[in-house]
Structure 1
Amino acid sequence: MAEKARLEGHAKPVQPPQRPPAARADEAVDQLYVTDEALATLIGLAAHEVPGVIGMAPANLREGVRRILGKQQADEGVEVTRPAKAAKGAAKGQGAGVAVTLHVAVAYGVNIPAVAESVKERVLYAAAAFAGVAVDRVKVHVVGVGRAGR
């Protein structure tokens, strides 16, 4: 009995597991975030599916060096820019999406404006359908023309 009394005096109550701190009012709970790299890869793969696109060109010096070293990746030629915080007075939903710039090479003999428009439509669809990301602007730079399969 004395042993039981001694243990009861020193026993610590069992604490329930701690919950993570509550999200601030400006943070969404259970939010999915797609990184710029993942989105660029998704967009690059979607652009490659457009008939008439034979490749992507490096969008910057880093990608150029990567290509020289033989480390070409699916996101090559794709730049994703997220906007700064929404401007004051902007309507809700305006300016909330990303801007995408693509540098593509097209096949000789294709209608370049039609291929560029198809790339734009494919990018808008892929970003929304596969990643749930709104794209505000798509710029397609045709930086090369070549023969398909070479």
Structure 2
Amino acid sequence: MMANIENQLGTINIEPEAIAKIAGLATTECYGIVGMASKNMKDGIVKLLKIESLTKGVKLHIDNNKLIIDLHIIVKYGTNIKAVAETIISTVKYKVEEATSMQVSSINIFVEGIKIND
């Protein structure tokens, strides 16, 4: 489902993939994040995504032009997960709303794994 913004000059249509990219990039900029995660539903294996495919770790739902964003992340070992999640929520909400002028109604964080330094 595409996001629509109407103004006096017409309608702006924003693809969910574009919003997911904004959310994914904002997430990876936060402290304590190793990257976005993708879970193979068949065998339950979590995979760390590269920067070019980070939108696979973002699930977007549009309901009455309000956004619900699910973020699947991998955090760095030793970080406070609650603090990292709160930072992600405020950062992603700000950046998505600023870029799209759409309201973010909720952001759900799913910690899919913890990466231990190599």
Report the Cα offset of residue 74 of structure 1.
2.8
Q: What letter is aligned with 1:31? A: T
- Give the alignment partner of residue 34 of structure 1, picking from 14, 18, 21: 14
Report the equivalent of 1:141: 110
Report the equivalent of 2:70: 101
Corresponding residue SS for 1:51: coil
Consecutive unaligned residues in structure 1, runs of 5 or more? 1-26, 87-95
Higher strand share: 2
Give the paired residue count: 106
- Give the alignment partner of residue 57 of structure 2, picking from 77, 91, 99: 77
Corresponding residue SS for 1:40: helix
Contact 1:97 1:135 in 2 (8 A): yes
For 2:53 and 2:96, locate their aligned partners in 1 and report how far apart those are by CA, in whole Å.
18
Corresponding residue SS for 2:14: coil
Q: Structure 1: which 4+ aligned runs deviate by more than 4 Å? A: none
Report the equivalent of 1:127: 96
Q: Over aligned residues, Cα RMSD in angstroms?
A: 2.5
Corresponding residue SS for 1:76: helix
Contact 1:59 1:76 in 2 (8 A): no
Report the Cα offset of residue 147 of structure 1.
2.9
Structure (1 or 2) with the larger CA radius of gyration: 1
From the superposition, tell whether residues 107 and 74 of structure 1 become closer, same or farther in structure 2 (CA, over 3 Å).
Answer: same
Q: What letter is aligned with 1:81? A: H
Corresponding residue SS for 1:73: helix
Consecutive unaligned residues in structure 2, runs of 5 or more? 1-5
Question: What TM-score do you get using the length of structure 2 for normalisation?
Answer: 0.78
Report the Cα offset of residue 60 of structure 1.
6.2
For 1:75 and 1:127, locate their aligned partners in 2 and report how far apart those are by CA, in whole Å.
14
Report the equivalent of 2:31: 51
For 2:55 and 2:10, locate their aligned partners in 1 and report how far apart those are by CA, in whole Å.
27
Report the Cα offset of residue 33 of structure 1.
1.9
Q: What per-residue deviation string (whole Å, max 9, x for no partner) do you get for residues 58-92 of structure 1?
A: 1565xx9xx7xx89513121000011xx5xxxxxx
